[in-house]
Structure 1
Amino acid sequence: MNEIDLIKEFQHIEDNFNRAVVTNDIAEIKKCITSDWVLVDSQGGIIPQERFFEVLKQGLLSHSTMKKRVLRVKIYDNIALVTGRGQNTGTWQGEPMEADEWITDVYKKDGDEWLCVLTHLTPVKK
């Protein structure tokens, strides 16, 4: 598969992941990730999915918009590194929030589908 087709394929996968996160529905998000998925960000460090889901359940975090433009995809056997730029809005602890970030998602092929293993966020320098 050429680079343009890879980017299109993973843009679709990322769009589905983003839609799941915006639902704030843990069951929907779990369809896109592995059971050991983690989030890595500059403020919280390595955040296990259990902690991420607990924050969602408590209503401390919710997303209202989320988009990512896939810029780079590299595949190594059954692992894909997907890097792009994303923006999201929502609330954190009842206060409005918005983010503009460089995002790298690590995917693992499971049968015929790609599931996210790790999401790494880096704020875009203003």
Structure 2
Amino acid sequence: MLQLKFHPDSVVRRSVVSAGIIFLTACGAVQKQTHESQAQVIAGLASQASEFEKAIIHKDISAIEAALTDDFRLIRSSGEVDNKETFLQGFKSADLTTDPYTVEDQSIRLYGDSALVSGKVKMTGITAGVAFTLHYRFIHTFIRSGEKWLICNSQITPIQQRSAT
């Protein structure tokens, strides 16, 4: 009969090596799952940001309101600060019409349960019978609230046209 003899150190070493391989494999799976989850979150935020911009264009007050926290703040390029109520008032006015626009240079940065969504917009429309053109960069701060992401803060900065020299 064949008898196998293992040195106790070799059994321990094999157990430690096996446990290490299992641990590293599990870490890789968790990292992959986390990466995929982060990509899914970013895709969801991009979609939600797009829906918010569509709500702005169509003056969909209920959709705009649902996307904002109760303590939402907008910092305007003038330095003035609007709260949720004053921000929504602007869209309730019949004097405002916004033409469709697209967001350029969109960037989404995720920080756990908060995210920064920024981009560039060239907006045109009519307010009080006068045509307007706004070219600005914006940043929205989103926070996770349960299963939803809400905008708690926005800031806009005008992009100055450079004169030809």
> How does the TM-score come out when normalised to structure 1?
0.82
Give the root-mean-square deviation of aligned CA atoms: 2.3
CA contact (8 A) 1:81 1:106 kept: yes
Which segments of structure 1 move beyond 4 Å, counting only runs of 4 or more?
Answer: none
| Cα distance in structure 2, aligned partners of 1:85 and 1:47 | 20
Q: Which residue of 1 aligns with 2:65?
A: 30
Q: Based on CA coordinates, which of the two structures has the bigger radius of gyration?
A: 2
Structure holding more strand per residue = 1
Q: Which has the higher helix share?
A: 2
Q: Which residue of structure 2 lines up, in the alignment, with residue 106 of structure 1?
A: 141
What TM-score results when the alignment is normalised by the length of structure 2? 0.65
1:17 match = 52
Aligned: 1:91 with 2:139: no
Q: Deviation digits for residues 82-111 of structure 1, max 9, x if unmatched?
A: 121122222222211122211100001111
Contact 2:42 2:110 in 1 (8 A): no
Structure 1 unaligned residues grouped into runs of 5+: none
Distance 1:109-1:7 versus aligned 2 partners, 3 A rule: closer
Taking the aligned partners of 1:86 and 1:58, their CA distance within structure 2 comes to 21
Tell me the matched-pair count.
125
Report the Cα distance in structure 2 between the residues aligned to 1:43 and 1:107, rounded to whole angstroms: 22
Task: Note closer, same or farther for the CA distance 1:118–1:60 as it changes in structure 2 (3 Å cut).
Answer: farther
Higher RCO by CA contacts (8 Å cutoff, separation 6 or greater): 1
Between 8-17 and 52-61, report the one with greater CA deviation. 52-61
- Unaligned residue ranges in structure 2 (runs of 5+): 1-34
